[in-house]
Chains A and B, each alone.
Chain A
């Protein structure tokens, strides 16, 4: 199983985080779990690397953070989408799709 996991291509972590946060406010751990689940454990994300990405996205103004209570009533930092984040997500997703299509076309024609 482990050898089937792939390293995340450069820059895609941001896209995944934005997509995850778009579903509703989440804390860091939940985001990391969600990414693992959705990608059916194929993508290997070092949990720690998530946080610098979150802080960077916050600085850009694409997500915003606030403190709230988690399910088991502990204080946790929740991230939620901003309007400019949503635009960014659309733009990045579109780029990604184009890239994916282009790459697969190239691969098929050869």
Chain B
């Protein structure tokens, strides 16, 4: 097969040489044959004649030889491409409009596909990723994120279905290098990790079973390639150097390959150390006690070949029962039912990813939308091609008349359209690669930026090629078939005359049908865009209970630092004073949890008269803040007072509660001065309510307002290791970031900054999915509208040109400018009406897919559809106005002479 192709290509490239050789070869034969005849005594002339008869037709033989060499088809293709290129160069306006439409349509598809590929499709760059499964306990409340060390051991040692089971434990570490401390994602892994995954080191070595043998005995670390690049500039002498992880020195022994980021997609595990070092660098918790399930503790199993996932699941569940009997005796019925009912095998070939669950559906919806955009673009180009074919009708008729086969002419025309699609695809790919980077900006950024490799992998390239080719054939074949079908004779006879021949009418009706189609599809897209935009708008209208604008957040984490207990609280208050001194800062405060950062904790409240049968308190949300925090965040104090520096350890415990909490427990009474019990403060006595604030959105814009209690950070019994400083200032975020950084570096605390961002950004990230959908669907809706408008314009302009004569007669008979304008506009509006009628049911059905993603809105909302139809109507009037204007300016005398 390959041989054959190479042979053909060689023949094609050496065409001239091959032609000469063929001549020589056949001539040699004829000469030989002639000599043979001469030897029998014939005169040379007769000998030549006989030789030629015996040989047969020379030209025909040559043709057959060329065919036999397989170059004929390729040669024709090259010819077609040359011809098409020449044709496209001759009409630059048509070519650029067509290529631009296609580039936008194809580019949008590639961009969304690239994102989908990165989030949903890409396999881990490891050996046989299809065999990898996450072992996850599950129950009625869903799948547990983490696991248990004893369960892992049991699976590893007793299962016959797996060729191996590994365990990793992700962490955030304070990593010190040359006196500078930074927060880095890292993991502890079992010794079989790299071996089981089949990942080799890019430099040095990976970790082995040997490294995992002695507890605490092997302080060795392997770096990810990207970390090696970022922090060490790919310095090869890094091997053997020492870094500190949470103040414990580790020796670097290797670097992993560039494409391997660990088992979690979008989050790079930058440093890997053996599990035997977990007690030294872990959270201080002993993982081997057997009890409890830790979230960051994940077992991955590799299935033996020949074992089905069902068999393995069955066996894993038997072991799971053994585990529960041995290590979890006396477990309550509810936790058994809700959390530990069974053990599931979850395919891990794409890696694990939190974002996937959240973004899969939106990406699928967007993929559907860009598919529609591409169809609209195709319809446009097909329309352009039809008009163009009409202009070339005579040329085509002539070619058919002088003996070109219909198939040949069709192939020629389709070559042109595939060429257009290929050029469009190439530009689209460039647009998409740039666009995909912009799209990642929509995904919520974690502490460490998301790391996706956007190098277009083979899947993206194949997708581009296939979609371009399909597009080319899709919009090319129909016009090509129609043009070659038109009646030869009438085309030739009618010549350049622009009469209403059958062909013209046919072309117009096909053109209109396509415009109706475009409008119907645009309606679907616009309805989607309006729907998602309204949903986002509804989210934005929600009363948050605070003012997010002009607030700048800086989050720090003392975890792993030498500071403990009250020191942390004191340091935080000192830092706050430093930050307040930054010029341009109007107000400042800090808190443990910050809105929408996902770190809110539960607290139990005990109020006299609200005792529960089980003796536990009601669960509410809690936060610990500094004085001035409420003002900084713009949280309105409804009654009482803010915390003051006097509210410190040893003094009366105080709290500020939300209005809804006050209404719930003290209906119709003044809550100020009332005392409640709070779980964490029970030892220090009851807490006095000193203030009431407005209800507050803490965990999500779409969520309900929880009952909340705020306590002074200074009164915390065991201070949290994290704190988020909030600054209210009119200064630009970048300026503030630099100023804050300078203050922190001046302190030389060795405590890293986890994140710095504006409150607005944190808010946007919490509605990332809605923003992605609203922004992109609006963009694609606009694109569809633009393309459809171009379609309407094209068909109308073409129609006016055809009807110059008729319009001239109408005007001669007394039609006014307004009448003519209306004549054209009416037709455009009729097309829109028809398109909307076709599109409405489609839009209604399609929007069901998004119903669950809407906020305070249903998919069937009539206002959405009315808005979409209205936008289309206005766009159609604009698009048809220019041709209508031209029609109205027709001079009847000229028009009638035109004929």
Pick from A16-24, A44-52, A94-102 the stretch touching chain B.
A44-52
Cross-interface CB contact of B25 among A53, A56, A77, cutoff 8 Å: A77
Q: Which residue of A lies closest to B54 (CB)?
A: A47
Q: Nearest Cβ in chain A — how far from B303, in angstroms?
A: 42
Distance, CA A75 to CA B29, complexed state (A): 11
Distance, CA A47 to CA B36, complexed state (A): 14
Distance, CA A27 to CA B24, complexed state (A): 12
Asked if B68 is at the interface (CB within 8 A of a chain A CB), the reply is yes
Pick from B58-66, B352-360, B623-631 the stretch touching chain A.
B58-66
* A51/B65 contact (C-beta < 8 A), A46-B56, A59-B8 known: yes
* A48/B68 contact (C-beta < 8 A), A27-B28, A29-B33 known: no
Q: Nearest Cβ in chain B — how far from A102, in angstroms?
A: 30
Whether B55 lies near A48 (C-beta < 8 A) is yes
Q: Nearest Cβ in chain A — how far from B20, in angstroms?
A: 12
Contact pattern, A 9-52, Cβ under 8 Å of B = 1, otherwise 0: 00000000000000000011100100000000000001111011
Whether B32 lies near A48 (C-beta < 8 A) is no
Q: Which residue of B lies closest to A53 (CB)?
A: B68
Distance, CA A47 to CA B28, complexed state (A): 13
Residues of B within 8 A of A56 (CB): 68-69
Whether A77 lies near B28 (C-beta < 8 A) is yes
Contact pattern, B 21-53, Cβ under 8 Å of A = 1, otherwise 0: 100111011011100000000000000000000
Residues of A within 8 A of B56 (CB): 46-49
* A48/B61 contact (C-beta < 8 A), A59-B69, A61-B3 known: yes
* A47/B65 contact (C-beta < 8 A), A59-B70, A75-B24 known: no
Cross-interface CB contact of A49 among B3, B7, B21, B61, cutoff 8 Å: B61
Asked if A5 is at the interface (CB within 8 A of a chain B CB), the reply is no
Distance, CA A58 to CA B7, complexed state (A): 9
* A74/B33 contact (C-beta < 8 A), A46-B56, A47-B54, A52-B68 known: no
Distance, CA A32 to CA B54, complexed state (A): 11
Residues of B within 8 A of A32 (CB): 29
Q: Which residue of A lies closest to B35 (CB)?
A: A72
Residues of A within 8 A of B29 (CB): 28-29, 32, 47, 51
Residues of B within 8 A of A28 (CB): 25, 28-29
Within 8 A of A (CB), among B57-82: 57-58, 60-61, 64-65, 67-70
Q: Which residue of B lies closest to A74 (CB)?
A: B28
Whether B67 lies near A52 (C-beta < 8 A) is yes
Residues of B within 8 A of A76 (CB): 25, 28
Residues of A within 8 A of B235 (CB): none
Distance, CA A56 to CA B67, complexed state (A): 9
Asked if B899 is at the interface (CB within 8 A of a chain A CB), the reply is no
Residues of B within 8 A of A67 (CB): 21
Whether B69 lies near A55 (C-beta < 8 A) is yes
Whether B24 lies near A47 (C-beta < 8 A) is no
Asked if B735 is at the interface (CB within 8 A of a chain A CB), the reply is no
Distance, CA A22 to CA B57, complexed state (A): 28
Asked if A87 is at the interface (CB within 8 A of a chain B CB), the reply is no
Residues of B within 8 A of A48 (CB): 55-58, 60-61
Asked if B310 is at the interface (CB within 8 A of a chain A CB), the reply is no
Whether A59 lies near B7 (C-beta < 8 A) is yes
Most chain A CB within 10 A, of B54, B65, B68, is at B68
Q: Nearest Cβ in chain A — how far from B193, in angstroms?
A: 49
Q: Which residue of B lies closest to A55 (CB)?
A: B68
Q: Nearest Cβ in chain A — how far from B224, in angstroms?
A: 49
Distance, CA A59 to CA B58, complexed state (A): 21
Asked if B614 is at the interface (CB within 8 A of a chain A CB), the reply is no
Range, interface on chain A: 20 to 34
Residues of B within 8 A of A29 (CB): 28-29, 32-33
Distance, CA A67 to CA B61, complexed state (A): 20
Contact pattern, A 52-75, Cβ under 8 Å of B = 1, otherwise 0: 110110111100000100100011
Asked if B157 is at the interface (CB within 8 A of a chain A CB), the reply is no
Whether A51 lies near B67 (C-beta < 8 A) is no
Whether A55 lies near B8 (C-beta < 8 A) is no
Residues of B within 8 A of A27 (CB): 28
* A47/B55 contact (C-beta < 8 A), A61-B3, A75-B24, A76-B28 known: yes
Cross-interface CB contact of B28 among A58, A59, A75, cutoff 8 Å: A75
Residues of B within 8 A of A52 (CB): 61, 64-65, 67-68
Residues of A within 8 A of B60 (CB): 48
* A47/B33 contact (C-beta < 8 A), A77-B21, A77-B28 known: yes
Asked if B210 is at the interface (CB within 8 A of a chain A CB), the reply is no
Residues of A within 8 A of B54 (CB): 46-47
Distance, CA A48 to CA B3, complexed state (A): 26
Contact pattern, B 423-464, Cβ under 8 Å of A = 1, otherwise 0: 000000000000000000000000000000000000000000
Distance, CA A74 to CA B29, complexed state (A): 11
Residues of B within 8 A of A58 (CB): 7, 69
Distance, CA A52 to CA B69, complexed state (A): 8
Q: Nearest Cβ in chain A — how far from B65, in angstroms?
A: 5
Whether B24 lies near A51 (C-beta < 8 A) is no
Distance, CA A103 to CA B56, complexed state (A): 32
Distance, CA A53 to CA B68, complexed state (A): 7
Residues of B within 8 A of A70 (CB): 28, 32
Residues of B within 8 A of A77 (CB): 21, 24-25, 28
Q: Nearest Cβ in chain A — how far from B71, in angstroms?
A: 10
Residues of A within 8 A of B61 (CB): 48-49, 51-52
Contact pattern, A 74-96, Cβ under 8 Å of B = 1, otherwise 0: 11110000000000000000000
Distance, CA A27 to CA B26, complexed state (A): 11
Residues of A within 8 A of B68 (CB): 52-53, 55-56, 59
Distance, CA A43 to CA B722, complexed state (A): 97
Cross-interface CB contact of A51 among B32, B64, B70, cutoff 8 Å: B64
Distance, CA A58 to CA B25, complexed state (A): 14
Residues of B within 8 A of A74 (CB): 28, 31
Residues of A within 8 A of B25 (CB): 28, 51, 76-77
Residues of A within 8 A of B8 (CB): 59
Q: Which residue of A lies closest to B62 (CB)?
A: A51
Q: Nearest Cβ in chain B — how far from A30, in angstroms?
A: 8
Distance, CA A75 to CA B25, complexed state (A): 9
Q: Nearest Cβ in chain A — how far from B344, in angstroms?
A: 54
Distance, CA A30 to CA B367, complexed state (A): 65
Q: Nearest Cβ in chain A — how far from B53, in angstroms?
A: 10
Whether A55 lies near B32 (C-beta < 8 A) is no
Distance, CA A39 to CA B7, complexed state (A): 32
Q: Nearest Cβ in chain A — how far from B740, in angstroms?
A: 73
Q: Which residue of A lies closest to B29 (CB)?
A: A29
Residues of B within 8 A of A51 (CB): 25-26, 29, 61, 64-65
Q: Nearest Cβ in chain A — how far from B10, in angstroms?
A: 10
Residues of B within 8 A of A59 (CB): 4, 7-8, 68-70
Residues of B within 8 A of A61 (CB): 3-4, 7
Distance, CA A55 to CA B18, complexed state (A): 11
Residues of A within 8 A of B69 (CB): 55-56, 58-59
Distance, CA A70 to CA B21, complexed state (A): 15
Residues of A within 8 A of B58 (CB): 48
Distance, CA A76 to CA B32, complexed state (A): 11
Q: Which residue of A lies closest to B57 (CB)?
A: A48
Q: Nearest Cβ in chain B — how far from A39, in angstroms?
A: 15
Q: Nearest Cβ in chain A — how far from B62, in angstroms?
A: 8
Distance, CA A76 to CA B24, complexed state (A): 8
Residues of A within 8 A of B32 (CB): 29, 70
Q: Nearest Cβ in chain A — how far from B39, in angstroms?
A: 12
30 A-B pairs with C-beta separation under 8 A: A28-B29, A32-B29, A46-B54, A47-B33, A48-B55, A48-B56, A48-B57, A48-B60, A49-B61, A49-B64, A51-B25, A51-B26, A51-B64, A51-B65, A55-B65, A55-B68, A56-B68, A56-B69, A58-B69, A59-B8, A59-B70, A60-B4, A61-B4, A67-B21, A70-B32, A74-B28, A74-B31, A75-B24, A76-B28, A77-B21
Q: 8 other contacts beyond A59-B68, A59-B70, with CB at 8 A cut-off?
A: A29-B28, A29-B29, A48-B57, A49-B61, A52-B67, A53-B68, A61-B3, A76-B25
4 closest residue pairs by CB, A with B: A48-B56, A52-B64, A55-B68, A48-B61
